């Protein structure tokens, strides 16, 4: 068969392939990016479904507008007001997960050969999406408090990229969060002559999952030019709904609507209306607070176990929120080799190489703490520490 040229470089999700290995119930998986199912509001959704079907009836099951359910768009726009961001519902497009938002923005902005700035390491889902459009990646290093702004400005000046994609809160995979100073600096760089041709895409699936420190506003708060924000209900309500959004200026939204119509017409009417009813009848902030408490406890268990069971030469990030923690192994260690040894110990993680666009990252790995109890996290880190120790001895 004559497949499209783009399929020659397309790759299956490395993480999804790893999750097949973790189907063995004896394996402690610290590999996935799964929210904790114990916080899925099942009972509340039963009531929301019953109420919405009772009130709206067939409208729940009918085709709808591409832009999305008006009540849901208004809810999202209102939620941005806490940061002083004044989006109208017309500047919100409901998407089938924030992953579709990435795909739509890529279709709107990217031509083959365009440069795209990503973080190093960067979100694998974005790397996969942009790769399909034949782009040139120009990675910029992450520091402890966010992107290396000097390097970012240099890349923008030299490459004139179409897009700069960033995850400023509890980044996947590193867990790094941009400081407010870095946010302001990025906004200024994007407005400068170096960044005038580049559109900022700010992805924020984890921002509401802060359990330490102070909440920080989006980079958009400090911007003096248009940008696009991506959001999702997957981490704060339930991923199976597949509901995310793009918040952007109307010109961008109108273009995204056009390409979404060619993709799926609209996101599930039923899912949108039931979610809107859930949000109307329940306190979302109280629900999020429960998630924060659980994830904070699990993050702390992982941090303490790493301090106890990993060799001192291994370095770990200690995120203030989100779902992930990033490990840099000692010199001479390969996370790909470690993965095989860890599976023998019945524990799994994600090697770091797929999060780099240049094939580096062989000493890095990602750990997830949201979907395992503190007890399983502690045991899993103990097993992983044993495998690292054996690698260092060999």
- DSSP class per residue in 69-110: -HHHHHHHHHHGGGGT----GGGEEEESHHHHHHHHHHHHH-
**Residue 2 pLDDT:** 80
pLDDT band at 12 (very low <50, low <70, confident <90, very high): low
Q: How many CA atoms lie within 13 A of 374 on its CB side?
A: 11
Give me the mean pLDDT over the 343-349 stretch: 94
What is the DSSP-derived secondary structure letter of residue 291? Answer: H
Which has the minimum average pLDDT: 8-22, 95-109, 348-362? 8-22
Residue boundaries of the structural domains of the chain = 5-41+286-393, 42-281
Give tens-digit pLDDT for 249-292.
999 999 999 999 999 999 999 999 999 999 999 999 999 999 99
Radius of gyration (C-alpha) of the chain in whole angstroms: 21
The CATH class given to the 42-281 domain equals: alpha beta
The CATH class given to the 5-41+286-393 domain equals: alpha beta
Would the pLDDT of 8 be above 80? no
**Residue 14 pLDDT:** 63
User: What proportion of the chain, given as a percentage, has pLDDT over 90?
Assistant: 91
Give me the mean pLDDT over the 240-246 stretch: 98
The DSSP code sequence of 171-204 is -TTT-----HHHHHHHHHHHHSTTTTT-EEEEE-
Place of tokens 């949201």: 370
Q: To the nearest whole number, what is the mean pLDDT of the chain?
A: 95
């Amino acid at each position: 068969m004559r497949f499209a040229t783009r399929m020659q470089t397309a790759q299956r999700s490395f993480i999804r392939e790893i999750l097949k290995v973790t189907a063995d119930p004896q394996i402690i998986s610290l590999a996935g990016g799964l929210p904790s199912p114990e916080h899925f509001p099942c009972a509340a959704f039963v009531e929301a479904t019953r109420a919405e079907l009772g009130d709206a009836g067939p409208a729940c099951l009918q085709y709808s507008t591409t832009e999305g359910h008006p009540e849901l768009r208004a809810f999202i726009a209102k939620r941005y007001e806490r940061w002083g961001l004044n989006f109208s519902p017309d500047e919100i497009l409901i998407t089938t997960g924030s992953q579709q938002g990435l795909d739509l923005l890529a279709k709107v902005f990217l031509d083959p050969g365009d440069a795209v700035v990503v973080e190093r390491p960067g979100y694998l889902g974005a790397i996969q999406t942009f790769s399909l459009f034949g782009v040139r990646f120009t990675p910029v290093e992450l520091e402890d408090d966010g992107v290396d702004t000097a390097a970012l400005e240099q890349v923008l000046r030299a490459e004139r990229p179409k897009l700069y994609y960033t995850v400023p809160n509890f980044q996947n995979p590193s867990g790094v969060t941009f400081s407010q100073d870095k946010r302001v600096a990025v906004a200024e760089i994007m407005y400068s002559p170096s960044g005038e041709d580049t559109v900022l895409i700010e992805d924020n699936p984890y921002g509401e999952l802060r359990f330490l420190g102070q909440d920080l506003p989006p980079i958009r708060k400090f911007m003096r030019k248009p940008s696009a924000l991506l959001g999702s209900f997957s981490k704060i309500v339930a991923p199976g709904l597949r509901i995310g959004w793009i918040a952007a200026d109307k010109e961008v939204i109108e273009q995204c609507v056009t390409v979404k119509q060619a993709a799926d017409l609209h996101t599930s009417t039923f899912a949108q209306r039931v979610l809107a009813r859930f949000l109307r009848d329940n306190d979302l902030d109280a629900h999020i607070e429960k998630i924060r408490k659980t994830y904070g406890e699990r993050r702390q268990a992982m941090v303490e176990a790493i301090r106890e069971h990993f060799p001192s030469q291994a370095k770990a990030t200690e995120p203030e929120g989100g779902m992930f923690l990033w490990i840099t192994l000692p010199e001479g260690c390969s996370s790909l080799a470690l993965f095989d040894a860890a599976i023998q110990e019945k524990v799994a993680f994600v090697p770091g190489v797929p999060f780099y666009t240049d094939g580096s990252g062989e000493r890095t790995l990602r750990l997830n703490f949201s979907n395992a109890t503190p007890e399983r996290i502690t045991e899993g880190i103990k097993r992983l520490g044993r495998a690292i120790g054996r690698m260092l001895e060999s």
